[in-house]
Amino acid sequence: MTADARVASVSAYLDELAQQRRLSAHTLRNYRHDLELLCGLLGESPGESTDGLRAGLPDASGFDAIRTHHIRRFVAQLHTRGLGGRSIGRTLSAWRGLYRWLGQRGMATQNPVDGVRSPRSPKGLPKVLSPDEASRLLEADPENLLAVRDQAIFELFYSSGLRLAELAALDLACLEDLLAGEVRVLGKRSKLRIVPVGSKAREAVALWAAQRPRLAAADEAALFVGQHGKRLGMRMIQLRLQRRGLLQGLPARVHPHMLRHSFASHVLQSSGDLRAVQEMLGHASIASTQVYTHLDFQHLAAVYDQAHPRAKRKPE
């Protein structure tokens, strides 16, 4: 298999993933990077050094030349470079899927990734803001047009637990439903869900909608726009939120997913309804939502330690 044929195979596989599984652009970019690492075993990755990993692989090898011991050696090398277990697991998943796809088309006789597991990494709990910190973040008075827009964005993140890509993709056409108390978004794999919108977020969005014509281009469909009148990019939303957190003196670097985590944790603490939180977050599996029960327990344990007379530690 020539280098061009390998590149064509990877592109065809990614195209099929995009069309049939409707993976997000972000996931597809990650998969492309992972498959470029695989091509690096064959000397085809321009940005990754694979010296010492190609032992036993002749030049111009095809995918079928890679064996399980090559995969294990490469996984060990990735781990020593500091790549975590979850990232390596995603990489192995991309490789395994490609080999399965190649095998179905008679382009590979074996799948060297089968049976190879990623190193285990300790599971960290998502970082969340406390209710007081969330209030401090959102209680700033907008001093200009961009701050009015930002306030609407941040309130909507915290009110409805939207993902960054979901919020950035909102169009002006959703405004009527949003102001009525709900927002429809397309989540992962183009799954539609409807999420409630709280009163504070509705007020902030209404204020922004009244000011939006001052900034938006005449033909722009996006609800949130930047200084040039076009759809506001995800990176700029991240930077504006990070800036707000610093200005409000919050101890941690605030990012959009932190507001999503905070939304889930605070709703679960108040309601105890795990299934409802799962629906609002758009999680396919309840297991993804259960991480917030651990956060809830941490909160309860902290309250217990502070309140119970027999729980307090004696001074040493």
Which member of 188, 193, 230, 299 is catalytic? 188
The question of whether 260 is a catalytic residue gets the answer yes
- Dist. CA 87–CA 30, nearest whole Å: 10
**231, 260, 261, 266: which one is catalytic?**
260
pLDDT of residue 231: 96
Closest by Cα among 43, 92, 37, 44 to 68: 92
Residue owning tokens 């020539």:
2
pLDDT (mean) for 85-114? 89
Within 8 A by CB and 6+ apart from 66, the residues are 38, 41, 42, 57, 112
User: The tokens of 7 are what?
Assistant: 């590149």
- Is 292 among the catalytic positions? yes
Cα 74 to Cα 45: distance, rounded to the nearest angstrom? 14
Q: Is the pLDDT of residue 123 over 50?
A: yes
Residue 131: its pLDDT value, please? 87
Q: Please report the sign of the dihedral spanned by the C-alpha atoms of residue 281, residue 285, residue 287, residue 293.
A: positive
β partners of residue 250: none
Q: Is 188 a catalytic residue?
A: yes
- Of the two residues 155 and 52, the one the predictor is more confident about is 155
Average pLDDT over residues 138-153: 92
Task: Single out the catalytic residue among 54, 73, 163, 212.
Answer: 163
> Is pLDDT larger for residue 49 or for residue 117?
117
Among 194, 165, 154, CA closest to 178: 194
Which structural domains are found in the chain, ordered by start? 3-104 (1.10.150), 131-257 (1.10.443.10)
Average pLDDT over residues 160-164: 90
Query: SS3 for 59?
Result: coil
Query: Which of these is catalytic: 32, 100, 230, 283?
Result: 283
More confident residue, 2 or 80: 80
| CA quadruple 151, 199, 161, 127: dihedral, nearest 10 | 70
* Residue 301, token pair as written in the block: 């344990």
Q: Tell me the CB-side half-sphere exposure of residue 312, using CA atoms within 13 A.
A: 6
What single DSSP character describes residue 314?
P
What is the overall mean pLDDT for the chain?
82
**pLDDT more than 70, % of the chain:** 82
Identify each DSSP E strand in 119-260 by its residue range.
182-186, 192-196
Q: What is the largest CA-CA distance in the chain?
A: 73
Distance CA 147, CA 141 (A): 8
Query: What sign does the CA torsion over 279, 282, 288, 294 have?
Result: negative
| Residue 257 is a catalytic residue | yes
Whether residue 155 contacts residue 204, with contact meaning beta carbons closer than 8 Å, is answered with yes
Residue 170 has pLDDT above 90, yes or no: yes
Say how far apart CA 71 and CA 95 lie, in whole Å: 10
CA 313 to mean position of chain CA atoms: 39
Dist CA 178 CA 181 (whole Å): 5
Calpha distance 302→308 (Å, rounded): 10
13 given a catalytic annotation: no
pLDDT tier, 49 (very low <50, low <70, confident <90, very high otherwise): very low
- CA separation, residue 211 to residues 166, 283, 289, 295, 316 (Å): 22, 34, 37, 38, 59
From the list 33, 127, 184, 257, the catalytic residue is 257
| Residue range 216-251, pLDDT digits in tens | 999 999 999 999 999 999 999 999 999 999 999 987
Residue whose C-alpha is closest to residue 174's, from 149, 142, 155, 197: 197
Task: Tell me what the mean pLDDT of segment 150-159 comes to.
Answer: 94
Q: Rounded to whole angstroms, how far apart are CA atoms 34 and 100?
A: 15
Please compute Rg for the chain using Cα positions: 24
